[in-house]
């Protein structure tokens, strides 16, 4: 799959200039260092700036290859000596300001066309392989590529630079933006792929939108049910592994990574940066919290809430989700307590003032 970038990037900027935007001091000898892009700690290189504000990622900070890192005063001593530390009061908010400088257009929807559509709705720069079909009313944007045997149905919108592989389908009124889809991917009606994730920096003046500059990667043989939504990544990609089957009305947040051959049933919600291993099964209306990892082949029961990591090969259920046997024992115990309580409450109603049980009609 090609390495496609969906947003135009400004820069590079000298670290001294970046520090000036934030009112921060640059460590001696680092002011002329050029910063070409933003990145998360794990993926950052010498030309990237990252941020750290969650102790959960202390190991990532210690191992980062970033050229610079935004950090609060209390964590400044944890930054590796090779990384220029910019000390700020709120690292995540400061990082958002930097992202807005590098990617000023990422907080608004990117146009599918640079000018008004004409003719059949296929932009002249789009590539439609022989055997692909674009039905009337569908729009294919600037530089998009549609593979042989794929059908783009009426009313759907394929965004600029999107790539869709061979022998797939995009259903009526679906939208695919900022995404790369593999072969034999089936997208049902009303699906939304690649819109920005739900990210805001909260402050006393209101909530400032966080640019989402990642992509959605959908691997081969994935099926996505009607009216489901898959947000693009913030700094990294949202990934749906090969062979995974997603039911109708499923919400998948930004930066989520779903493994191969998973089954996700209707109305499941998966919050940002959650990770599902291979062959995971999630029952209907279950919820997966952000930054949680669900191990390979784990099964989660309907209506469960996963708020902590789940080990591979287990069966889980309840709120919060826990091993299924433990959960079922607790449910049985609660039912027994409730029955005993109700039995005790009814006992006085069945006896008269002499303690004899009343006869009922």
Q: How far is CA 126 from CA 138, 146, 152, 170, 185, in A?
A: 13, 8, 13, 16, 19
Is the separation of the CB atoms in 250 and 191 below 8 Å? no
Distance CA 238, CA 228 (A): 14
* Cis status, amide bond into 216, omega within 30 of 0: no
Predicted confidence band of residue 118 (pLDDT cuts 50, 70, 90): low
What pLDDT is stored for residue 343 in this prediction?
Answer: 84
Please provide the size of the chain in residues. Answer: 361
Residue 208: exposure state from Cβ atoms within 10 A (0-12, 13-18, ≥19): middle
| Contacts with 359 (C-beta within 8 Å, 6 or more apart), sequence order | none
Task: Clarify whether 254 is annotated catalytic.
Answer: yes
What pLDDT is stored for residue 116 in this prediction?
Answer: 62
Query: How many CB atoms within 10 Å of residue 349?
Result: 7
pLDDT exceeds cutoff 70 at 145? yes
What pLDDT is stored for residue 350 in this prediction?
Answer: 57
Q: Output the six-digit token pair for 17.
A: 């200039």
Mean pLDDT of the region 270-281: 97
pLDDT exceeds cutoff 80 at 339? yes
Residues above pLDDT 70, as percent of the chain:
94
DSSP state at residue 115: S
The three-state secondary structure class of 315 is: strand
The per-residue pLDDT for range 151-182, each reduced to its tens digit, is 999 999 999 999 999 999 999 999 999 999 99
Predicted confidence band of residue 358 (pLDDT cuts 50, 70, 90): low
Is the separation of the CB atoms in 140 and 126 below 8 Å? yes
pLDDT exceeds cutoff 90 at 21? yes
CA angle 143-147-153, nearest 5°?
85
Tell me which of 207, 254, 291, 360 is the catalytic residue.
254
Mean pLDDT of the region 98-108: 91
- Helix H or strand E encompassing 242: none
CA angle 207-212-218, nearest 5°?
140
Least confident of 164-168, 307-311, 321-325, 343-347: 343-347
Q: Output the six-digit token pair for 36.
A: 């070409």
User: DSSP labels for 165-205?
Assistant: -SS-EE-TT-EE-SEEE-TT-EE-TT-EESPPP--EEEETT
Of the two residues 345 and 169, the one the predictor is more confident about is 169
The per-residue pLDDT for range 197-225, each reduced to its tens digit, is 998 888 888 888 889 999 999 999 999 99
The per-residue pLDDT for range 56-81, each reduced to its tens digit, is 889 999 999 999 999 999 999 999 99
Distance CA 8, CA 311 (A): 40
Query: Of 197, 212, 146, 201, which is closest to residue 7 (Cα–Cα)?
Result: 212
Q: Output the six-digit token pair for 224.
A: 């996505």
């Amino acid at each position: 799959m090609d390495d496609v970038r969906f947003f135009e990037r400004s820069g590079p900027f000298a670290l001294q200039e970046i520090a000036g935007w934030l009112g921060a001091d640059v460590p001696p000898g680092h002011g002329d260092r050029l910063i070409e892009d933003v990145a998360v700690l794990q993926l950052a290189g010498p030309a990237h700036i990252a941020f750290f504000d969650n102790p959960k990622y202390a190991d990532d900070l210690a191992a980062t290859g970033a050229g610079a890192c935004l950090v609060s005063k209390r964590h400044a001593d944890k930054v590796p000596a090779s990384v220029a530390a910019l000390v700020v009061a709120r690292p995540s908010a400061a990082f958002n300001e930097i992202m807005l400088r590098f990617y000023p257009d990422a907080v608004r929807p990117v146009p599918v066309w640079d000018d008004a559509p004409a003719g059949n709705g296929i932009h002249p720069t789009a590539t439609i392989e022989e055997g692909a079909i674009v039905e009337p009313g569908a729009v294919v944007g600037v530089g998009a590529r549609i593979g042989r045997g794929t059908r783009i149905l009426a009313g759907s919108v394929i965004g600029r630079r999107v790539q869709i592989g061979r022998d797939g389908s995009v259903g009526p009124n679906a939208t695919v933006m900022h995404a790369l889809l593999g072969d034999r991917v089936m997208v049902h009606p009303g699906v939304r792929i690649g819109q920005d994730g739900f990210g805001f920096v909260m402050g006393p003046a209101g909530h400032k939108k966080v640019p989402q500059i990642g992509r959605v990667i959908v691997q081969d043989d994935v099926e996505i049910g009607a009216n489901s939504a898959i947000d693009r990544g913030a700094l990294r990609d949202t990934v749906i592994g090969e062979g995974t089957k997603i039911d109708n009305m499923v919400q998948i947040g930004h930066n989520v990574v779903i493994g191969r051959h998973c089954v996700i049933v209707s109305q499941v919600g998966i919050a940002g940066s959650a990770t599902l291993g291979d062959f995971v099964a999630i029952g209907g209306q279950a919820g997966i919290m952000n930054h949680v990892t669900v191990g390979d082949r784990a099964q989660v029961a309907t209506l469960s809430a996963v708020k902590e990591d789940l080990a591979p090969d287990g069966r889980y259920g309840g709120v919060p989700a826990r091993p299924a046997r433990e959960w079922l024992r607790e449910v049985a115990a609660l039912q027994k307590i409730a029955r005993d309580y109700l039995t005790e409450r009814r006992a006085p109603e069945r006896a008269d003032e002499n303690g004899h049980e009343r006869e009922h009609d």
